[in-house]
Chains A and B, each alone.
Chain A
């Protein structure tokens, strides 16, 4: 128990729009151990960002946590006041966002923006904070940092801005780093550099990471465990091995097929999953993937499947096909052996 940094238990988050309650997160549970990196994967709209903003308690009106617990070092963040959260944000839990082009304030220098969090949480003077900011810029491999620290965001490239965001996030040595699609907006070579940087810094600073992405290919290198989300629910979670080589959920299998194979020679086309995610204003009563699932059975439409666990209990999948009474489907059994991925 003591080695759990973050435990999310049956978290539910909704947006109370004029059309009604959009149930963006409908009861998810997962945990992050100290020093561990986990991946949260799912298509756009599956609830990844809402999950991370719920943990940070940065949901904007009309978003609200409606149930569950978020235990951070054993303390429930759900009941914390904004004032309590201010001491945690940027200090114990830090976050980097998808779009580095818009995530930095255009009118302040990079140095000021890094120093700001340091001054706030570490009670350092302006000068000391700027020295620390310079160290951070060196740490994230910004060339010519003494000069660059005085630059404004528009003088930085996209990749450099994301490095600066990482510098801000890690400046107070947080215990948990939430990275919400940190490489999605960057081109492929820069993506790899940023991921490498995050990986090496996590090891160096002993920070746990929640890496959020819609690309299963991205997490393989960085994370030890993966949570697969869809329609505001966790479809499957397990170790990297479980998810890549023994996927049990048709949605995970679909995601695996849609991984871009950059490193491989074979010019294989991406196979996106046909169809669109469910309407969270009126979420389906059964399996959220029912409408798009090629193996869907009658029960899938009416009853939400429970989690079926592997023998060690660490690989969990929400799919009726794993029920002992489910009819055997040959293709599914074959895919369960794992989809070959190029890397």
Chain B
């Protein structure tokens, strides 16, 4: 565990990176956070001079896919420096220390760098049954979070778990999984996704390290840079959507041609993320590019909006096959039958009324003749 205080550049040099590699990283960082090539010098200067803030990365109820994603960022230095050696003063999955030593390190960091450290949280906090579903070192996730969040300079919620509760919070949410935003009384930077895109995570972290403040956020706490556009609006299959050329089953000819996956339940039109722009695995691909519809993993409650491979989700309270359309069509038929039945009873029961009204009629033409 490295000691915080040095600048990023010094730490990198100690690790054996060359000046050229450092500058490459600075270009990458500048581009990721939207500064452009001109921003490279600014980034380099900041990383040379600024002390890097200590970082605490907590893991609660999660699968560690956020960490897995993070270490696959397209620039190797990010994983190596930011995660491996840089000031990661506490993280359950990667730190060398264990047991009491690790717990002490966490407590020390929180105390020593109060108001300075960055808190990264991966996973949701189970609040059911007094938090017994997630206990680390004898303390519940909720207790650990409360302590760690109190004096944090910035809090980042990694992934859908920390942002919205993800699969653990899917109905009926047996452990009472709760997004961290609801537990800490402070603004939280939400970086949803299951997992979030590596370069998005790196971008958020870099921004905080560089400017000492969070990137610009939208009304739901997500960095605008990465979450202001729908996958659908940036998807390269979009022309097929507008042309009405759809894949109708996996492995059909249309799938082979790369048509739009809308009919296969693609959630691109209701999902805000940077997949189609940033892409994954060193900008190689993203789910839709490999032929799989978007499942909307960066959206709140996406597990409850299934089945994934169908445009319409199942209707709450009905069997899984029932969609709004089956129920609506049944309703329509029911109403039509009811109306038909009503028409019949009207003619039986309202006979006198109708006859009475009809009796008001006078035969007009014959009257006219008589007058003449």
| A, B in one complex | no
